[in-house]
Amino acid sequence: MQGSVRGMPRIPFGTITVSDHSRRLIGEILDTRRISSGKYVRELENRFSALVGVREAVAVSSGTDADILALAVLHDFGAARGDEVIVPALSFVATGNAVVHAGFRPVFADVRRDTLNIDPDRIEPLITARTRAILPVHLMGKPAEMDRINDIAKRHGLAVIEDAAEAHGAMYKGKPAGSLADLGAFSVYVAHIITCVEGGIVTTDREDYAEVLRSLRSHGRSCNCSRCSLNVDSGYCAKRFRGEEGEDVRFVFDRIGYSCKMNELEAAIGLGAFEMYDAILEKRRRNLLYVLERFGRFAPFLTTIGEEPWERIGPHAIPIVVGEEASFTRAELTRHLEEHGIETRTLFASMPTQCRGFAHLGYRLGEFPNAEYIGKHGIHIGVHQDLGEPEMEYVLSTIGRFVEERQN
């Protein structure tokens, strides 16, 4: 077990595994002094696109930036600032923030309590002449209902962008998360299976989208090929000086952009993660399913998600929602778990009505009952690769004793 708190086992929410290969690469990179985005970032992109099964992957500095740039691409294809993007009310706040930072207005739809994901039945009534995209989130690694979402988008001529930040290893009807829409946005933050410590990756099958993404991550500059945009080498490139006055196109800017490149040291850690990907995914999946398959005994006082035959949940964490029939509060459950060495996280909030940053949009408490309920009553705990069956059984027994004591 993971250490102890007052004699109790310690079960932290997350971990990171840094491979020997990553350590060697970091040393080589430091020796060369070529630390900004370069050949290792490009290698990471190639490995990630192959893993997800798409043609292109573009690395950026965070999962939030991945969302922002995936959305900002739409400005090159007819979208205007102030247009609308439909998003689930329940998500980590970065999802809603990204819509605003990309120059759009977020329009929120409630979620389903059993899946935690956007309710497809709530999407179509929200579509207006200003709607440009739908941004579903695979919350806690559980795939959103992409068939229905894509069908709605197709009928209305909308783009679909997957927020797959937590969905490493998730599958929906035989296809990986990140390959199910026009673009996918991943986080490679420290908590995820493929981790660069910090960073994000946008996936797409469209080369034209990828070219715009490479421009956007570097201030909107005109030079956006996969070689020069990453400083893969310092040799002469004729394409750089194609301007009428012989100017360097790295200093010609075609669009409003951002500064959010990944560096070589981050890419080196990510590259090492690919060596361990299958083993980490399998162990996390084993931990997740061990708990999900045994969690029904706590109903209706506590509930979690389930895995359907057509999907594979990406093993990010275990969500837990306190039921309406429970005689205890989330605060009491959280305190009990923390006192017994089990680290917890709040299960996010209803962005439009429980996050003050979105108050200017004018939503009122009560408009998103499912998201608001989960925002007040939900937590999540870890299933990472440093844990195993003994830790998962300890989690279940600790929860079991708590529920039994409070309900009797």
- On whether the CB atoms of residues 290 and 268 are closer than 8 A, the answer is no
Q: What are phi and psi of 176, to 5 degrees?
A: -70, 145
Distance CA 1, CA 342 (A): 11
Give the angle 306-380-269 at the CA atoms, nearest 5°: 100
Q: Tell me the angle at which helices 207-216 and 63-72 cross, rounded to the nearest 10 degrees.
A: 120
Distance CA 108, CA 367 (A): 10
Q: Which of 75, 138, 168, 192 is catalytic?
A: 192
Going by their DSSP bridges, the two strands 84-88 and 131-134 should be labelled as parallel
192 is catalytic: yes
Burial of 379 (0-12, 13-18, 19+ CB in 10 A): buried
Q: What are phi and psi of 104, to 5 degrees?
A: -115, 170
Q: Which helix (H) or strand (E) holds 183?
A: strand 183-187
Terminal C-alpha separation, the chain: 30
Distance CA 52, CA 297 (A): 35
Give the position of tokens 């080196």: 268
Distance CA 352, CA 108 (A): 7
Q: List active site positions.
A: 192
